[in-house]
């Protein structure tokens, strides 16, 4: 019965995750300082704020994606698990924002920023899922996880690359859309790498 319920998904939650991502990512990218437009201290403050918005967006979008992927699973995270997972998401957002704002406009830097955002999101997800699956060990397809993270990094990198090239804030709409779509897509793709429930028991054995 539980195995069957875990295969049922709530599309409304997925849609809510996408909406949260669209709004949050657009806001976060709009907060990034334009090169040379503000002083150094203000620019750092703007980057930190933008990164926290991005990190918070990935966290709240993840919670909705989790509830949508497993609508019949009790997904209330204990504080001891939710806090470090949320802090990891925030750190990933700040790091990606800093590289995007202050790093050289190279493919390597944008891919690095995308990889940080992708890996922090994926690690946040697995931290949460590992806690929810206790006392059973979480069983997942490692190759599928790596493919999902790589795809997420490429999408994030593509969007952040366009951020660096945007001459004015209104030109951030399309890059923001790419980054925003990558968040729920990576969430769902990563959740899909979790193996069926019976294999959790096999992993424990």
Give yes or no for residue 36 having a pLDDT over 60: no
pLDDT per residue over 110-131, tens digit each? 889 999 999 999 888 888 877 7
pLDDT per residue over 57-107, tens digit each? 999 999 999 888 888 776 677 777 888 889 999 999 999 999 988 888 788
To 5 degrees, how large is the angle CA 91–CA 83–CA 196?
95
Nearest to 50 by CA among 112, 97, 100: 97
pLDDT band at 33, cuts 50/70/90?
confident
Q: What are the start-end ranges of the H helices in 70-141?
A: 79-102, 107-133
pTM above 0.85, yes or no: no
- 202 by Cβ neighbours in 10 Å (0-12 / 13-18 / 19+) ranks as exposed
Q: What pLDDT, on the 0 to 100 scale, is given for residue 2?
A: 42
For the chain, the average pLDDT equals 82
């Amino acid at each position: 019965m539980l195995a069957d319920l875990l295969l049922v998904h709530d599309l409304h939650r997925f849609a809510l995750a996408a909406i949260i991502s669209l709004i949050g990512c657009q806001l976060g990218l709009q907060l990034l300082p334009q090169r040379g437009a503000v002083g150094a201290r203000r620019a750092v403050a703007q980057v930190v704020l933008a990164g926290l918005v991005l990190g918070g967006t990935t966290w709240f979008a993840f919670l909705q994606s989790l509830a949508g992927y497993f609508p019949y699973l009790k997904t209330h995270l204990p504080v001891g698990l939710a806090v470090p997972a949320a802090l990891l998401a925030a750190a990933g957002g700040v790091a990606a924002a800093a590289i995007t704002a202050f790093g050289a406009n190279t493919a390597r830097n944008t891919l690095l920023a995308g990889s940080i955002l992708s890996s922090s999101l994926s690690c946040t997800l697995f931290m949460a899922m590992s806690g929810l699956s206790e006392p059973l060990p979480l069983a997942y397809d490692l190759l599928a996880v790596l493919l999902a993270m790589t795809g997420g990094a490429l999408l994030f990198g593509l969007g952040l690359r366009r951020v660096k090239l945007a001459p004015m804030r209104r030109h951030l709409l399309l890059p923001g859309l790419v980054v925003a779509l990558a968040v729920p897509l990576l969430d769902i793709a990563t959740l899909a790498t979790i193996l069926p429930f019976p294999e959790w028991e096999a992993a424990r054995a």
